[in-house]
Structure 1
Amino acid sequence: MPLTVEASSLSLNDVHRFLKLDKLSNASFTDFLSLEPLSEFEQQDLLRIGNDFERYLSAGKISEGLVKFLTIAPLMRLAGFYDVPIRLTMVDSIAIAVEDEDTNIKGQMDILAVNSAQAKTPPVFWVLVIETKNSAIDVSEGLPQLLTYAFKSLEQQTSVWGLMTNGLRYQFVHLIQDKPPTYQLMSLLNLNESESSKLLLQVFKAICQLLNI
């Protein structure tokens, strides 16, 4: 009987070994995305999101659930992820059979955005996979889980975006189906630094618009 392991228990070395996934040098957002200027309304709304988060953070550690509520949900709405044909799901289960090893990986991703326009004829296009942590945890600790969940989408598409966040800091990852599959980390972004937060929203919007390209 195959050994079943939880994605949350995997180290980065485990992920590289099990999934035969290679890390390339860090990349720039503009290598893959077309970033558009933000409107005055978007900048003001972004500032409110940052201020709300800072107010809660000043009072102490923010739980993973509250991180989603205070930052991810409003950022995704502002970026267009609530619009048709994108559909958001939370705590979706995944299962991966590891090639050449008698092992299955299982886990539950936090947030998944898919293009549901072709939902009646699967597979659908995975737009963005998000792994959240509480505000006291470094975002990099979510990388093994995020890579595992995002890797699942490469069974049906050539690339996918992932995001790790603790509410304050955000790191996007771009995975590509190749031989072997690869991933690249993007620059770390901060919600409460003006220029960095603007870039964060620009990236959210650009990823959201990928399905229209």
Structure 2
Amino acid sequence: MTILNARNLSLEEVQRLFGFQEQYSDSFSHYLSLEPLPEAEQQELLQIRNDFRRYLTAGKVSEGQAKFLVVAPLLRLAGFYRYPIEILLEENIADIEVEDEDIKIKVRFDILAISKAKQTKPQIYFWVLLIESKNSQIDISAGLPQLLTYAYKNLDNQKSVWGLTTNGRSYQFVYLDQGDILIYYLLPELNFMERERSNQLLQVLKGICQI
């Protein structure tokens, strides 16, 4: 049996192995209810941007720094730290065996948000959001193969799931839907350093949290 690491897979390989098809969607409102942000939350976003900008100006921001400086505060603002949501961090390594091929893929997630109030099967909780993060100098598309590979493992338990790849500055949301075929929809990329886009980013995260 061939053993692969999801980090080393290309997007083309992931599409072939799991049968994913890629499509684009130009609007978050097709999937989520986006509510206006209170002024206090907009001010918090401004502070997070200013703090992160200082690190970007100094040079490369590591994956860990991006998660600590931006992703974690955004998740807190969006409500992901409150019950019934629970955050899991890089503590689950899984093996995926590819049907009809003698291949096993090892995968590890960065951040997973689950709902403790909703089970899809006994002892399996509903996945709210799966996040794959990179350092500030890596294009966010580099995280897509890992994200899709891990999300694929859970599509037997629920029909759809949200994913997010980010390098702290740019954010690419992905909506995975299992119908007759597996489709992942790429939503518009959001630049956190732009005021309107950062506001929309928080709106989207809040919308996903309320699913």
**TM-score, normalization by structure 2:** 0.96
Q: Deviations over 1:148-203 (max 9, x none)?
A: 11222211001000000000010100000122211010111011101100000000
Cα distance in structure 1, aligned partners of 2:28 and 2:54: 29
Q: Which moved more, 1:184-193 or 1:148-157?
A: 148-157
Q: How does 1:91-170 map to 2 (within 5 A)?
A: 91=90, 92-118=92-118, 121-170=122-171
Cα distance in structure 1, aligned partners of 2:98 and 2:180: 16
Asked if the contact 1:160/1:174 (under 8 Å) is kept, the reply is yes
Structure 2 residue runs of 5 or longer lacking an equivalent are none
Residue number in structure 1 paired with 2:210: 209
Q: Which moved more, 1:120-129 or 1:156-165?
A: 120-129
Residue number in structure 2 paired with 1:179: 180
Cα distance in structure 2, aligned partners of 1:106 and 1:135: 25
Moved over 4 A (4+): none
Cα distance in structure 2, aligned partners of 1:27 and 1:181: 19
**SS class of match (2:59):** coil
Q: CA deviation at 1:118?
A: 4.7
Asked if the contact 1:94/1:109 (under 8 Å) is kept, the reply is no
Residue number in structure 2 paired with 1:43: 42
Pair 1:74 & 2:89 matched: no
Q: CA deviation at 1:104?
A: 1.2
Q: Which moved more, 1:76-85 or 1:101-110?
A: 101-110
Sequence identity percentage: 55
Q: Deviations over 1:105-131 (max 9, x none)?
A: 111110000012257942210000000
Cα distance in structure 2, aligned partners of 1:99 and 1:49: 44
Asked if the contact 1:27/1:184 (under 8 Å) is kept, the reply is no
Asked if the contact 1:4/1:105 (under 8 Å) is kept, the reply is yes
**SS class of match (1:35):** coil
Structure 1 residue runs of 5 or longer lacking an equivalent are none
Cα distance in structure 1, aligned partners of 2:86 and 2:94: 17
Cα distance in structure 1, aligned partners of 2:14 and 2:81: 31
Cα distance in structure 2, aligned partners of 1:183 and 1:114: 20
Residue-pair matches, total: 209
**SS class of match (1:116):** strand
**SS class of match (2:29):** helix
Aligned-residue Cα RMSD (Å) equals 1.3
Cα distance in structure 1, aligned partners of 2:24 and 2:36: 27
Higher strand fraction (1 or 2): 2
Cα distance in structure 2, aligned partners of 1:122 and 1:75: 28
Q: How does 1:7-86 map to 2 (within 5 A)?
A: 7-86=6-85
Cα distance in structure 2, aligned partners of 1:154 and 1:179: 13
